[in-house]
Structure 1
Amino acid sequence: MAGTSRKEHTQLTKQAETDRAAGYREAAEARGAAGRAAADAWETVRDGPYASILGVTEHRVPDVDTVAARLAEMRHTKVPARAQQKDAGDQKRIARFNATASKSREAASMYRAVADDARTKKALRQRIAQQHPELHRAETRARAEVQQAQQAQQAQTTRIEQQNRRYQPPAPSRSGPKRGR
């Protein structure tokens, strides 16, 4: 169509109007879809676990450009700060775990030393028993006497404590009607 006749001109005009209407319709649909996408994105960010940290407290959905700008701002300013905060917390937990592990190693070392001392003491007693049997019997008797004396003293202390704990009835309480004075 060359658009030289009135009929062709009318057809071209109608075609252009139809195309323009379709363009307006597509633009409106695109704006609506963008608004829905912005609302969904903002809702996702707002309902996320880090919303308060990122400063997302608005209930109204901003336009797409504002959402993009806010997300970029969050990504560049607040997310690195939150990551640094999490890293510092992780470092503290690691330090705590290392301190606990160090204490555990120290306690294990102490228990090994005590066990080694007990084995050494046992070996020395066996050697004394073999080389000096009379000395060993005397030491064994002395240990038994000391142990009996400690048990007797403990039993006496327990008896004294039990004697000092006499039954004390509860304090009398007032019962019955009160008299007015």
Structure 2
Amino acid sequence: MIKNEKIKAAEVQLTGLNGEDLGVMSTREALALAKQYKVDLVCMSLMSSPPPCKLIGAGAARDEAQQAKKQAGKSPDKRKVKEIRLQLQMEDHDRDVKQSQAERILKKGDSVKFVIQVHGAKEGEAGKVWAEELCKALKDVGSRTTGIQVSGKQVVVQLDPIG
């Protein structure tokens, strides 16, 4: 955010304290107005000529920048991937709890990555079967984005929320 004397443009398109359009004026005049009202002159974008600038109270400029940063963080394509670790020897109740956790996460809009701990090739097959069962059970709220990956000590599959 470029403020006050750091604005190098000869002319600026100025907007007043209450959002009213004050037109195109020299940067020097805009700075004089800002000092008169005891506020900051803030450049909103350098992509146009003359650049649009606003008269903003000192604290308000900082608040506006923080607000913009917050909004950028809430981008819909920034989906979190929550990892749920499972073991093949878990009790049925524990499996059900993990499955309902995954369902809750998917409904919230985040992705779920199941990591099933296994030992050896025989358990790897059993882990793959269980991963397929989990995917089938959660097909209403999540779709598989990766295949079921079986590697040495774990079976991994990721589900993304539907919709």
The TM-score, its normalising length taken from structure 2, stands at 0.27
Which structure is higher in strand share? 2
Which structure is higher in helix share? 1
Tell me which of the two structures has the higher relative contact order, counting C-alpha pairs closer than 8 angstroms and 6 or more residues apart: 2
